[in-house]
Structure 1
Amino acid sequence: MNEMSVNSKGKCPVMHGSATRFSGRSNKDWWPEALNVGILHQHDARSNPMDPDFDYREAVKALDFDALKADLNALLTESQPWWPADWGHYGGLFIRMSWHAAGTYRTSDGRGGGSTGNLRFAPLNSWPDNGNLDKARRLLWPIKKKYGNSISWADLMLLAGTVAYENMGLKTFGFGFGREDIWAPEIDVNWGEEKEWLAPSEQRYGNLEEPDTLGPNLAAVHMGLIYVNPEGVNGNPDPARTAEHIRVTFARMAMNDEETAALTAGGHTVGKAHGNGDAGALGAEPEGGELHDQGFGWMNPNADGKASSHVTSGVEGAWTTEPTKFDMGYFDMLFGHEWELTTSPAGAKQWKPVNIEDIDMPIDPDDGKTRTMPVMTDADMAMKVDPKYRAICEKFMADEAYFRDTFARAWFKLTHRDMGPKVNYIGPDVPDEDLIWQDPIPAGSASYDVDALKAKIAATDLTPVEMIATAWDSARTFRGSDKRGGANGARIRFAPQRSWEANEPEQLNRVLSVLEPIANAAGASIADVIVLAGNVGIEAVAKAGGLNVDVPFAPGRGDASAEMTDAESFEPLEPLADGFRNFAKAQFAGSADEMFLDRAQLMGLTASELVVLLGGLRVIGANHGGNKHGVFTDREGTLSTDYFVNLTDMGNTWHPVGNDMYEIRDRASGDVKWTATRADLVFGSNSILRAYAEVYAQDDNKQKFANDFVQAWDKVMMADRFDLVG
């Protein structure tokens, strides 16, 4: 009897869904409160199809930039029968794709944005607000196929909109290549807690009448929207009310009022909204489609091969008389007419002019002859009704050159905000001008005697812990999400960082007062000296534990000035909690372990790096304010594996004592040996983190621990050294 017949017993032997379409409960379903350590490994090498030695930043430098732009310009007016272009021009569609790829950026945690090509994946590829952008990406496929590895999707999707603007008459501010693609959805981004698309705004706001109460980290008014509801707050038209919600959402995306008005006007100067049909007839979004749809979503059975039959937002119409030209037509239309509420064929609420001459109406996107009614959304009307936005628009109307320049700069910021310092930009169109939102840092010197400088630092009265804590505090602000923060620039010297509670201002001022004269005398940057002092401290505590380590150091960091520092934009980088130093801001309420994990992910750490750094910093005694929680050792100030040995020691018991605090007691005597927080005990309770902790608790891994700690430490100190990247 063969194996098939033995095992099958009349059933298919394949374990359906065992590794593919698993229909059972996942670990997260069974244990929803479990810490999701997987976010630390979501973009590891196994998901990347490129060769290990592939370097996109080098590959893109060999790109024929002029040929690529020429191909994009040609594509703009090559209307395809499977998705016909409005007026034979794809400019509006490509601009919307670029805008929506970049527009998810948020200042709170630097996540979102277009620098990873994440628009290709769920949930973004299937958000209602991204309807039919799957068609834009498919239109770009022949170009991506042609240029291959030398152009990432992330770069191409943002370049397409920029080239479209140039094609339609805008002198753009520039463009920088260098965005590297991810190859799987981002699971670290919290887009909201709603369980349905476009859920009522009340689910996101503490008080819908106070826009500032929009949920933490969020920057859009509904699940599945980029900004605000075009029909008004909760779909109820009220331009004045909408204006306040626009102001908050755009501010959370790093835009001020002038940039917001410019982007609104410039974005709607070209293209059109689509709602000329039955929205209820559309098929599922790309992730919910049938196999034979091949990734196409929102299939429209009533399109009839006409651009004018497309249905996307449900709003219908163009904003200007000539929607394929970048001109002042938006202002002429908005301020040159009175407007009244109406509904689109798809049932969306929108505004139409009370009276308008035929000559001022846009023509039909298909026949090129019939005049059609223009449109304004509630967000457009907000530019006219809100006094601040109106004043800005009037300034634009009085000076077209100023409007064009303001919009070009705002568009550049929108599409580059999450790329970090300008050193990350590649290509012939990178602007020479330094912009404050790029966090500019002057080049630093590397021509000094590092060993002599280390000796001078070691000879000071600073303790190893003081030096280690200051270096850590300077570097831990780094966010891989938008490449901001970090030790380079030494912005810990300036507001707001110098007064952050997490940075222990009194100790920080003392350390800086000692290190700054040493840096000046040596011709080194204070940024370098802060990091080098941390290294000196690490080597000292390792030596105290009988471990020999040599902490790597790469000189050349620069010192930013206060004038180069946009203090307000650094406010969101303040650590409200730092599990590495067992710190939580007094008024902050949240899960210490989840905040710990979030910070580690933003810093680019793996789970094993998180574990080794935590254990090392605890026994060194680097806790905030010198608190003793989690210092599981009787030789504090020595780099050792004691944290892990005592964490996993079954001679202990663990007891909650309130407010996420715990006591570790001797199992035999009941005596309290140590205290701990959630940020400590999670390393013993979480099965994944415990597995790593057990590695370092082993008797044979003392030197491995020291080596791994130094390697992880150096990674944190070097995270923002983009000046060393090709």
Structure 2
Amino acid sequence: MSESKCPVMHGGATTTEANKVWWPKALNLDILHQYDTKTNPLEADFDYREAVKTLDVEALKKDMIALMTDSQPWWPADWGHYGGLMIRMTWHSAGTYRISDGRGGAASGSQRFAPLNSWPDNANLDKARRLLWPIKKKYGNKLSWADLIAYAGTMAYESMGLNTFGFAFGREDIWHPEKDIYWGSEREWLAPSGSEGSRYSGERDLENPLAAVMMGLIYVNPEGVDGKSDPQKTANDIRVTFERMAMNDEETVALTAGGHTVGKAHGNGDASQVEADPEGAELEDQGFGWLNKTKRGIGRDTVTSGIEGAWTSNPTKWDNGFFDLLLNYDWELKKSPAGATQWEPIDLPEDKKPVDVEDLTTRYNPMMTDADMAMKVDPEYRKISEKFAQDQHYFSEVFARAWFKLTHRDLGPKARYIGPDVPKEELIWQDPVPAGSTSYDVEAVKAKIAASDLTVSELVTTAWDSARTYRNSDKRGGANGARIRLEQQRNWEGNEPERLAKVLTVLEAIATESGASLADVIVIAGNVGIEKSAKEAGFEVTVPFSAGRGDASEEMTDNESFEVLEPVHDGFRNWQKQHYTVTPEEMLLDKAQLLNLTAPEMTVLIGGMRVIGTNFGGTKHGVFTDNEGALTNDFFVNLTDMSNSWIPTGRNSYEIQDTATKAVKWTATRADLVFGSNSILRSYVEVYAQDDNKEKFVKDFVSAWAKVMNADRFDLA
């Protein structure tokens, strides 16, 4: 009997995906709406950060420690201890973080979804998450997957003897794959440099913002650069990769050695018998990937990376064994049973060899990857390795702190940390900000600002520049701390140093007189400018404000770490430092997403900031009004005026001409005209251009403005 023609659409392709195939140049706004509430199965009023405060952490600890040695027959623990597996899961969740855009990391539980759940480097971590399911089931909504995945590795280290630095809860789960993270342009897993879509150019320049060397890897290739062993070349890759994860050389060596002090790699079998990853697996596999349905494929016969063996003599114990073996013995290149290249020691005493994971009477050689050998070969890494080898206490302390940093870097400032094990010490990478005053007279401050000679544009622009550094990806930046006044940021080109210095001179005096922090005064100044411009448009508004921001000092600021926050473009101020391969509208979209804005919020802010006159350098691009300084909806009205023609005059410049007379009325950039050309953005523009929505525009602008100003006020949540 022949099959009937299928009555439904094949492949489940969304309209957005299909549109991208037909119109590849179209701006995709999905990243602004990726966390639609309709994807969340929990109640609309559920607040995880409140729920986790009721978690019985002591009971959870006991359950986690017990889990480590509760070996399950469907996925038996190596040497009866799941520590190595749990640490790898946590590491590979947190290790996707990159400092350049703050994306990646452990804060969302994204490892449950594609592409991360099916990256080659994450092979068999699906088993680790399934082992955690009974604990997640027991603690339910009080414990997110994101927190549990991050916590598992820390508890694993504690169970094997490490005195950890602490742990903070508070990571909220997402419910579908993230759409805002660029993982690379390759179209095949583990594609070597030089292949199509390679992330390398020049000698070996890794594409920003990427940190990993290949599609599907967390860090570097364990077999060497492009799979060819050369520990010094691998060391060079490691240094770039770990710098982009915000780690220095000492932290890099500590993490490499500490991660490989326990557990093992798996390659004792035929890699060709390993089946599809979780996303490509059959229905009956129920989300499990990398299965071996031909042979046993578990325990000693597991194939994961293809590399086979433990790194140390006692792989379930926290000790200094990694450096003992690495530095005190000679090593040679070998092949694993699965065919992977690895290093093995020459003439290692039998009692130094780790035992088999199932048969404790049999011993095998340990192994090292090219990345491990880099710790011995690279001169700087070797110095650190030798120091750690001579002082295990120091190594343990550095590692514990680096592990804490790795697992918490994208959680945000300390104010967001929850739980009994939050360290009391404040760390510079947490971007500390002292508490600010709330006892001053806000109205008096507003009056002094309004009476100054500062223009609306100067007030609004300075407040925006202070707040726009915020990144919702890792909760860094923002107006709190007033770091815009510190030496590094006040000289950033995008902050217009001369204009900024003029404004800060006035606002600093007001802050000193009033007892307010400069951070608060800068935000108040922006609000004063908004209120003035709204009044010019015929609307009386009060921009919401909450006092309490503090002023960070130079000593509280890691300037090298803050370099990545320097803007090189800002579509909201119609500026880019130079021409880039990426279009201005795509950069605007990226900035809006990092500011946690929706597409309507992005739209209303652009329209308002254009007519207020906040463009970089005072340019008139996109200032579609004859009443600059007033918060009118003129940007939208004139953008939709069909008596106009839009004429390209350069790579990123346009003239708006009267169609009948050819007279030039305004000029514009792509960041302006995209709001008329993109069908979705135009639908928002048309709402704000309507005659009956002038007041709505002002209210929506004020709301979006306040959201940006308060983005880093985690104390208000």
Q: TM-score range by the shorter chain?
A: over 0.9
1:190 to 173, 182, 194: 182
Q: Does 2:1 align with 1:16?
A: no
**Counterpart Cα distance in 1 of 2:198 and 2:500:** 38
| Matched residue SS, 1:417 | helix
Q: Secondary structure at the match of 2:35?
A: coil
CA-CA distance at 1:590 after TM superposition:
3.0
- Residues in 2 aligned to 1:567 and 1:399: alpha-carbon distance in whole angstroms: 30
Distance 2:366 2:203 in 1: 30
For the pair 1:385 / 2:377, whether they are aligned, the reply is: yes
Partner-residue secondary structure (3-state), 1:161? helix
Secondary structure of 1:674 counterpart: strand
Q: Which residue of 2 aligns with 1:350?
A: 342
Q: Report SS of the residue matched to 1:334.
A: helix
C-alpha spacing 1:126/1:13, structure 2 compared with 1 (3 Å): closer
**Match in the other structure for 2:21:** 29
Q: CA deviation at 1:126?
A: 0.3
Identity of aligned residues (%): 67
Letter in 1 for 2:470: F
The aligned counterpart of 1:576 is: 568
Mean Cα deviation higher: 150-159 or 490-499: 490-499
Structure 2: distance between partners of 1:22 and 1:450: 50
**CA distance in 2: counterparts of 1:206 and 1:50, whole angstroms:** 42
Selected match of 1:168 from 160, 185, 188: 160
1:482 is the counterpart of 2:490: no
**TM-superposed deviation, 1:548:** 1.7
Q: CA deviation digits over 1:135-170, x for unaligned, max 9? A: 000000000000000000000001000000000000
Cα distance, 1:22 vs. partner? 6.5
Q: Conserved in 2, the CA contact under 8 Å of 1:420 and 1:483?
A: yes
Which residues of 2 match residues 85-484 of structure 1 at below 5 A? Answer: 85-202=77-194, 203-207=197-201, 209-210=203-204, 213-302=205-294, 304=296, 306-484=298-476
- Contact 2:297-2:303 at 8 Å conserved across structures: no
Q: Verify the 8 A CA contact 1:101 1:114 in the aligned structure 2.
A: yes
Structure 1 residues 305 and 37 mapped into 2: Cα distance closer, same or farther (>3 Å)? Answer: closer
Distance 2:31 2:488 in 1: 29
Give the counterpart letter for 1:524 in structure 2. Answer: A
1:44 Cα deviation from its structure 2 partner = 2.1
Name the Cα RMSD after superposition. 1.4
Work out whether 1:523 is the aligned partner of 2:515. Answer: yes
- TM-score when normalising by structure 1: 0.97
CA distance in 1, matches of 2:293, 2:4: 40
Tell me if the contact between 2:291 and 2:297 (Cα under 8 Å) persists in the aligned partners.
no
Measure, in 2, the Cα distance between the counterparts of 1:653 and 1:306. 68
CA distance in 1, matches of 2:27, 2:297: 49
Match of 1:7 in 2: none
State whether residues 184 and 199 of structure 2, in contact with CA within 8 Å, keep that contact through their aligned partners in structure 1: no
Q: Determine the structure 1 residue equivalent to 2:553.
A: 561
1:651-679 Cα offsets, whole Å, 9 max, x none, are 00111111221111001101111100000
**Against the structure 1 CA distance between its residues 253 and 703, is the aligned structure 2 distance closer, same or farther, given a 3 Å change threshold?**
same
Unmatched segments (≥5 aa) in structure 2 = none
Question: Is structure 2 residue 603 aligned with structure 1 residue 611?
Answer: yes
Distance of aligned partners of 1:29 and 1:501 in 2 relative to their CA distance in 1, 3 Å threshold:
same
- CA deviation profile, 1:478-527 (whole Å, cap 9, x unmatched): 00000000000001111421111111110111111100111111111100
Deviations 1:609-629 (A, max 9, x none): 000000000000110110000
Counterpart-to-counterpart distance in 2, 1:398 and 1:25: 56
- Give the residue type in structure 2 aligned to 1:627: T
Counterpart of 2:332 in 1: which secondary structure? strand
Is the Cα contact below 8 Å between 1:277 and 1:345 reproduced in 2? yes
Kept in 2: contact 1:303–1:310 (CA 8 A): no
- C-alpha separation in 2, matches of 1:588 and 1:599: 15
SS at match of 1:342: strand
The number of aligned residues is: 713
- C-alpha deviation, 1:204, in angstroms: 3.5
The one-letter code of the counterpart of 1:544 is E
User: 2:102 aligns to what SS in structure 1?
Assistant: coil
Q: Distance in 1 between matches of 2:697 and 2:64?
A: 52
1:531-542 equivalence runs, <5 A: 531-542=523-534
Partners of 2:199 and 2:214 within 8 A in 1 = no
Report deviation, 1:558.
0.8
Q: Do residues 628 (structure 1) and 620 (structure 2) align? A: yes
Read off the aligned partner of 1:80 and give its amino acid letter: Q
Aligned to 1:83: 75
For the 8 Å contact 1:84–1:306, the answer to whether it is kept is: yes
SS at match of 1:379: helix
Contact 1:154–1:179, Cα closer than 8 Å, also in 2: yes
Q: Does 1:45 align with 2:27?
A: no
Following the alignment from structure 2 to structure 1, what is the Cα–Cα distance between the partners of residues 595 and 13? 33
- Kept in 2, the 8 Å contact 1:81–1:305? The answer is no
- The residue type equivalent to 2:77 in the other structure is A
SS of the equivalent of 2:364 reads: coil
Q: Distance in 2 between matches of 1:324 and 1:482?
A: 33
Q: Which moved more, 1:38-47 or 1:613-622?
A: 38-47
**Distance (Å, rounded) in 2 between the aligned partners of 1:464 and 1:207:** 45
> Following TM superposition, by how much is the alpha carbon of 1:12 offset from its aligned partner in structure 2, in angstroms?
6.0
- How much has 1:587 moved relative to structure 2? 5.9
* Unpaired stretches in structure 1, ≥5 consecutive residues: 1-9
User: Displacement of 1:274 after TM fit?
Assistant: 0.4
Deviation of the 1:696 alpha carbon: 0.3
The alignment status of 1:74 with 2:66, answered yes or no, reads: yes
CA distance in 2, matches of 1:442, 1:317: 49
Structure 2 distance, partners of 1:461, 1:303, is 80
**Whole-angstrom distance in 1 between the partners of 2:156 and 2:547:** 42
Deviation readout 1:95-135 (Å, 9 max, x if unpaired) = 00000000000011000000000000000000000000000
CA distance in 1, matches of 2:212, 2:614: 38
Q: Is the 8 A contact 1:581 1:623 kept in 2?
A: yes
> For 1:204 and 1:385, how far apart are their aligned partners in 2?
27
User: Aligned equivalents of 1:549 and 1:585: distance in 2?
Assistant: 34
SS at match of 2:334: strand
Name the amino acid aligned to 2:144: S
SS for the counterpart of 2:665 is: strand
Q: In the aligned structure 1, how far is the partner of 2:541 from the partner of 2:273?
A: 67
Q: Which residue of 2 aligns with 1:5?
A: none
Q: Give the superposition deviation at 1:207.
A: 3.9
Q: Does 1:64 align with 2:74?
A: no
1:11 Cα shift? 5.9
1:280-313 Cα offsets, whole Å, 9 max, x none, are 1111000001111100000023552641111100
Kindly provide the CA deviation profile for residues 633-661 of structure 1, in whole angstroms up to 9, marking residues without a partner as x.
Answer: 01111110000000000000111111221
Do the aligned partners of residues 402 and 671 (structure 1) sit closer, same or farther apart at CA in structure 2, a change above 3 Å counting? same
Aligned mates of 2:229, 2:8 — CA distance in 1: 53
Q: Using the alignment, how far apart are the partners of 1:148 and 1:436 within structure 2?
A: 34
For the 8 Å contact 2:201–2:207, the answer to whether it is kept is no
Measure, in 2, the Cα distance between the counterparts of 1:469 and 1:209.
Answer: 41
CA deviations over 1:162-210 (Å, ceiling 9, x no partner):
0000000000000000000111101111100000000112354444743
